[in-house]
């Protein structure tokens, strides 16, 4: 569940000096500034969609030199040179080449010039026909967030993901029996997978599978605790045999049914209370997705909800959502909302080492849980009238880290060359657990709180940089969730903390800590699962 997030709508800085001077000397049908803005959006879209290389700064064209994206219009008659753009001004009368190109959305010039009338997720259509959320696309239009002054809604639910593979780390591990209880209302066990041929629930590996029952047994120690199975995760859709399993299963009702029956017996067998589908991501070609995923996911969830109801049990059903427009547009959030108990929105990993490959961002260090950007992610939901009570906001018990280029430039926005060195226990460059960051601070790091972003920036060893959340910034985020009527918070992940962050987060809630039975009962009685009774009466 480490999504590669590409914040769309960032504008590529365009060097005005590169515009050919002949253009400036001639009076064209469009205002010069408009043409520049148009070119920027065209170029940004083309780069993000892999049509143009990032360093391709030429968007002039002629009868023989075709546009890589857009129509060759706005032509200077004396030189025969034009500019690439969309809509009637470029594709209509006077267009020189590639005149059938259509814009992403229709800013009002008519659907004959556009691929679609509106933008995905109700984001703004700029006057040049491109979709985005920044001021260049929306002008002065803003999105109102739900308001619940002095609200307490988010205190009702605290979901913790538990990494079933965490015991494979050399240190900083957490056995199932050591999961701190009393604060979490739900534990989501991460992960199980979908077998790419049989479409049955498949374990990640034997060791992870051996923990299912040990985690669900915690329900005996905290009344009302629910333990759900999370299926999927970021790595499942990496290149490999599992990559298209979600997509293939969603495409066929026969395969959906194979998955449903397997899932239900799996949940009954291991005493899970619900399922959280972490498909990362439908439709996204870079994640094994196809366009049909958009509708197939609606069908999958409608049918799964119905099938779960038929069991007569109260199985829960949720999915995780990315917080970026780039990936969220693959979800038909309006249509799927009614089938879900809630959405878990992954409002973390907003920045990381992958930014250097995102053409509109580049190798600049920013915090991965910036509240300003979290709000921008949530606004994608409010644009679509999603019920905030059905939205659970993600919090990170870990940091995203960088090795900075220049030890004299350690502020957010300074250049990085790589992830920071891997931690002693987590061992992966670019990420550090809360447990490890606490240790780094104890050893004498510099900690700065950025109040506007509600994050901490920790720097050490001259060029090491990590952003993370402590008790104070977690409280800021919890307050935000309450003030905007959200249904709860979730954390990735229980085992990355030594219990300190959880206690800090929980103690800031209006809900009291739930009573915990310390000793594990010697026998787990489960009279509802049929084959348990069978074994028992033998
Ligand atoms: C419009 O649709 C065509 C065909 O699907 C596609 O190739 C093109 O990239 C789209 N253009 C934009 C600007 O979205
Ligand atoms: C499933 O059950 C819930 C709770 O009883 C109900 O609100 C929902 O409409 C049912 N959904 C389907 C698809 O049967
Ligand atoms: C937080 O996000 C805003 C808006 O993108 C940005 O201006 C600011 O620099 C970010 N702060 C940090 C610490 O990343």
Per-residue pLDDT reduced to its tens digit, 227-284: 999 999 999 999 999 999 999 999 999 999 999 999 999 999 999 999 999 999 999 9
Q: Number of helices (H) and strands (E), helices first, in the chain?
A: 16, 20
Task: Name the average pLDDT for the chain.
Answer: 90
Q: Ligand 2 pocket, 309 CB below 6 A?
A: yes
Mean pLDDT of 445-451: 98
Query: Using a 6 Å cutoff on CB, does residue 127 contact ligand 2?
Result: no
Is 485:153 a contact under the CB 8 Å cutoff?
yes
Q: Both 119 and 158 in a single domain?
A: no
Average pLDDT over residues 359-374: 94
Picking from 478, 132, 483, the residue whose alpha carbon sits closest to that of residue 325 is 132
Would residue 527 count as lying in a domain?
A: no
- Domain edge (last residue) among 76, 110, 138: 138
Task: Please tell me the predicted confidence (pLDDT) of residue 28.
Answer: 45
Q: For ligand 2, is residue 306 a contact (CB within 6 Å)?
A: yes
CA angle, residues 270, 274, 276, in degrees to nearest 5: 115
Could you write out the DSSP letters of every residue in 109-121? S-GGGBS-SS-GG
pLDDT of residue 525: 53
Residue identified by tokens 């993600």 is 394
**Ligand 3 pocket residues where CB is under 6 Å:** 366-367, 370, 372-373, 412-413, 450, 453, 455
**Same domain as 405, residue 265:** yes
Query: What is the arithmetic mean of pLDDT over 344-366?
Result: 93
* Residue 202 sits in the same domain as residue 244: yes
Nearest to 284 by CA among 321, 346, 331, 319: 331
Q: What is the pTM of this model?
A: 0.90
The alpha carbon of 344 and the centre of ligand 3 are apart by a number of angstroms equal to 23
Q: How far is the CA of 137 from the centre of ligand 1 (A)?
A: 18
Give the mean pLDDT of 27-55.
74
- Rounded mean pLDDT of 316-341? 97
pLDDT score of 521 more than 60: no
Distances (CA, A) of 403 to 410, 431, 521: 10, 11, 48
Position 50 confidence tier, pLDDT thresholds 50, 70, 90: confident
Whether residues 157 and 134 fall in one domain: no
Q: What is the mean pLDDT of residues 486-508?
A: 96
Whether 518 is covered by a domain: the verdict is no
In a domain, residue 537? The reply is no
**Angle formed at CA 389 by CA 471 and CA 352, multiple of 5 degrees:** 50
Among 80-89, 330-339, 407-416, 513-522, which is the least confidently predicted range?
513-522
Q: Give me the pLDDT at residue 484, please.
A: 98
Residue 3 has pLDDT above 90, yes or no: no
Q: What is the DSSP string of 352-419?
A: SGGGGGSTTT-SB---TT-HHHHHHHHHHHHTTT--GGGEEEEEESEEEEEEES-TT--STT-BEEEP
The token duo for 488 is 């709860």
Same domain, residue pair 260 and 306: yes
Short-list 167, 168, 196, 169, CA closest to 179: 167
Nearest atom in ligand 2 to the alpha carbon of residue 308 is 1
Last residue of a domain, one of 106, 138, 170: 138
* C-alpha 296 to ligand 2 mean position (Å): 20
In this structure, is residue 121 part of a structural domain? yes
Instruction: Indicate which residue's Cα is closest to atom 12 of ligand 1.
Output: 104
- According to DSSP, residue 503 is labeled H
Whether omega before 191 lies within 30 degrees of 0, making that bond cis, reads: yes
Residues 276 and 307 in one domain: yes
71, 106, 138: which is the final residue of a domain? 138
Helix, strand and coil percent figures for the chain, each rounded to 5: 35, 20, 45
CATH code at position 337: 3.20.20.80
Length of the chain counted residue by residue: 538
Instruction: Indicate whether 144 belongs to any domain.
Output: no
Query: Quick check: helix, strand or coil at residue 256?
Result: helix
Contact status, residue 394 vs residue 345, Cβ threshold 8 Å: yes
What's the CA angle centered on 34, arms 109 and 325, to 5 degrees? 70
- For residues 91 and 188, membership in a common domain is answered with no
Q: Are residues 56 and 171 in the same domain?
A: no
Segment (H or E) for 202:
strand 201-203
Instruction: Choose among 269, 247, 270: nearest CA to 199.
Output: 247
pLDDT of res. 493: 98
Question: Residue 510 pLDDT more than 90?
Answer: yes
Instruction: Check residue 78 and give its pLDDT.
Output: 87
Per-residue pLDDT tens for 291-308?
A: 999 999 999 999 999 999
Split into its structural domains, the chain has a count of 2
Say yes or no: 42 and 191 in one domain: no
Task: Give the model's pLDDT for residue 357.
Answer: 87
Backbone angles phi and psi of 394, in degrees to 5: -80, 140
Residue 530 located in a structural domain? no
Whether residues 53 and 197 share a domain: the answer is: no
203 burial level (CB within 10 Å; 0-12, 13-18, 19+): middle
Percentage of the residues of the chain whose pLDDT score is greater than 90 = 79
Q: Which domain holds residue 76?
A: 16-138
Residue 461, in any domain of the structure? yes
Among candidates 361, 341, 359, 342, which has minimal Cα distance to 351? Answer: 361
Q: Are 256 and 303 in contact (CB under 8 A)?
A: yes
What does each C-alpha distance from 230 to 212, 321, 480 come to in angstroms?
Answer: 11, 13, 26
Residue 360's pLDDT is what? 78
- Paired tokens of 241: 């045999």
Would the pLDDT of 75 be above 70? yes
Determine the pLDDT at residue 15: 26
Residue 382 exposure: Cα atoms within 13 Å on the Cβ side: 16
| CA 454 to ligand 3 centroid distance, Å | 10
The pLDDT assigned to 168 comes to 95
Ligand nearest to the CA of 10: 3
**How is residue 179 annotated by DSSP?**
S
Residue 106 CB–ligand 1 contact under 6 Å: no
364 C-alpha to ligand 3 centroid (Å): 11
Residue 44 CB–ligand 1 contact under 6 Å: no
The pLDDT value given to residue 27: 43
Taking only the tens place, the pLDDT of each residue in 130-174 is 999 999 899 999 999 999 999 999 999 999 999 999 999 999 999
pLDDT tens track for 11-28: 222 222 333 334 434 444
The answer to whether residues 380 and 133 touch, using CB atoms and an 8 Å cutoff, is yes
Mean pLDDT across the stretch 455-473?
Answer: 98
Is the C-beta atom of 305 inside 6 A of ligand 2? yes
Q: Say yes or no: 57 and 125 in one domain.
A: yes
The percent of residues in the chain predicted with pLDDT above 70, rounded, is: 90
> Which residue's alpha carbon is at the smallest distance from atom 14 of ligand 1?
104
State whether 177 and 53 are in the same domain.
no
pLDDT at 225: 98
Cα separation, 412 vs 448, whole angstroms: 11
CA–CA separation, 346 and 225 (whole Å): 22
Q: Reduced to 3 states, what is the DSSP secondary structure of residue 229?
A: strand
In-domain check, residue 382 = yes
What distance in Å separates the CA atoms of residue 26 and residue 78, rounded to the nearest whole number?
10
Q: What is the largest CA-CA distance in the chain?
A: 95
């Amino acid at each position: 569940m480490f999504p590669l997030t590409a914040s769309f709508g960032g504008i590529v800085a365009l060097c005005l000096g590169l515009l050919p001077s002949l253009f400036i000397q001639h009076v064209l049908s469009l205002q010069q500034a408009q043409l520049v803005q148009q070119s920027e959006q065209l170029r940004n879209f083309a780069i993000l969609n892999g049509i143009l290389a990032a360093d391709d700064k030429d968007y002039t064209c002629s009868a023989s030199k075709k546009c890589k994206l857009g129509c060759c219009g706005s032509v200077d008659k004396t030189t025969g040179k034009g500019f690439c753009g969309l809509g009637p001004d470029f594709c209509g009368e006077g267009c020189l080449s590639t005149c059938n190109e259509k814009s992403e959305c229709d800013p009002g010039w008519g659907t004959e010039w556009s691929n679609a009338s509106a933008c995905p997720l109700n984001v703004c259509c700029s006057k040049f026909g491109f979709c985005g959320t920044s001021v260049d696309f929306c002008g002065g239009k803003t999105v109102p967030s739900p308001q619940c002054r002095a609200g307490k809604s988010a205190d009702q639910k605290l979901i913790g993901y538990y990494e079933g593979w965490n015991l494979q780390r050399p240190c900083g591990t957490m056995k199932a029996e050591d999961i701190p209880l009393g604060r979490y209302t739900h534990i989501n066990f991460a992960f199980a997978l979908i077998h790419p041929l049989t479409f049955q629930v498949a374990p990640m590996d034997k060791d992870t599978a051996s923990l299912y029952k040990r985690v669900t047994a915690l329900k005996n120690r905290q009344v009302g605790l629910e333990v759900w199975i999370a299926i999927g995760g970021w790595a499942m859709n990496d290149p490999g045999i599992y990559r298209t399993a979600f997509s293939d299963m969603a495409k066929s009702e026969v395969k959906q049914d194979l998955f449903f029956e397997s899932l239900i017996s799996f949940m009954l067998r291991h005493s899970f209370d619900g399922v959280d589908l972490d498909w990362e991501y439908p439709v996204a070609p870079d994640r094994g997705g196809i366009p049909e995923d958009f509708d197939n996911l609606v069908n999958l969830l409608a049918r799964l909800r119905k099938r779960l109801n038929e069991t007569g049990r109260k199985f829960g059903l949720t999915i995780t959502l990315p917080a970026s427009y780039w990936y969220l547009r693959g979800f038909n959030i309006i249509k799927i909302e009614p089938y879900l108990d809630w959405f878990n929105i992954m409002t973390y990993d907003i920045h990381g080492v992958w930014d250097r490959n995102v053409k509109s961002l580049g190798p600049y260090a920013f915090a991965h849980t910036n509240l300003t950007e979290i709000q921008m992610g949530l606004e994608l939901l409010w644009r679509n009238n999603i019920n905030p009570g059905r939205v659970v906001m993600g919090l990170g018990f870990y940091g995203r880290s960088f090795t900075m280029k220049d030890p004299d430039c350690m502020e957010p926005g300074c250049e990085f060359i790589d992830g920071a060195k891997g931690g002693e226990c987590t061992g992966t460059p670019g990420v550090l657990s809360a447990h490890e960051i606490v240790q780094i601070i104890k050893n004498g790091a510099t900690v700065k709180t950025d109040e506007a972003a509600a994050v901490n920036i920790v720097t050490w060893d001259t060029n090491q940089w990590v952003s993370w959340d402590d008790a104070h910034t977690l409280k800021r985020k919890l307050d935000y969730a309450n003030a905007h009527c959200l249904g709860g918070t979730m954390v990735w992940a229980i085992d990355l903390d030594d219990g300190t962050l959880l206690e800090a987060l929980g103690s800031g809630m209006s809900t009291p800590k739930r009573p915990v039975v310390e000793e594990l009962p010697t026998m787990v009685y489960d009279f509802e699962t049929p084959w348990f009774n069978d074994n028992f009466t033998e």
